[in-house]
Amino acid sequence: TPHSPSLFCSPKSTTHYSSRRLVVSGASTNTSALDFSPSIGEVLGDVSIFTAAGDSVQFKDLWDLNEGVAVVALLRHFGCPCCWELASALKESKARFDSAGVKIIAVGVGSPDKARILAERLPFPMDSLYADPDRKAYDVLGLYYGLGRTFFNPASAKVFSRFEALQKAVKNYTIEATPDDRSSVLQQGGMFVFKGFSVTEHDIQILPSRVCIRNALVSYFMLQ
């Protein structure tokens, strides 16, 4: 089923565009919180996803939307080897985020049973992992979906510079974590830092990396 583009992202002018158009070609795109409508957090808050255990939950129930800070990492899909690497890096950084009072939320495309495969085999904490089989959150946040920048971007070669970390992360990898709907593999991800309802920083990734995790930590401490 085609996904209609969201209209809740806008450039710094007052003209509204489809959120899909905000994604710029390249390995990573950093833009300020001003690129998002102030209502984006409220809209995302009403999006329903699933816990890895299979329970339905809304984004607004995942962190304190008054003053709480959350790093929301939207993985491509649970069968993406590079996303296993990112999930591994998130797990390694979780203690630092926890001590700073920052909630870690990792979301992937696929059903809860696919999420559990990643959680059990990586492993990754189940209480921080969520499934978005219909890509609802990805649509609201305007993340790129398509063939061109998923498989034919020059930035894809950068994965070889992280070969050792990737090899370690995929030690127990299985392709069974890939969504049954194979068209889902065309979805790209990103990392977002929220303070309450507001996006304070985001990093749209053609290929996820540990750099965006460091950026998220820096962004948090800049909020203090």
The answer to whether residue 147 scores a pLDDT higher than 80 is no
Torsion sign over Cα 87, 207, 145, 59: positive
Give tens-digit pLDDT for 165-199: 667 777 999 999 999 999 999 998 888 889 898 88
User: CATH fold of 19-223, please?
Assistant: Glutaredoxin (3.40.30)
The answer to whether residue 218 scores a pLDDT higher than 90 is no
Task: Quote the pLDDT of residue 11.
Answer: 32
CA distance 40 to 139: 12
Give tens-digit pLDDT for 81-102: 989 988 998 999 899 999 989 9
Q: What is the mean pLDDT of residues 36-55?
A: 90
Residues 6+ apart with CB under 8 A from 96: 217
Q: Which of 69, 76, 139, 78 is nearest to 105 (CA)?
A: 69
Give tens-digit pLDDT for 106-138: 999 999 999 999 999 999 999 999 999 999 999
Q: Per the confidence metrics, is the pTM higher than 0.85? A: no
CA distance 137 to 131: 10
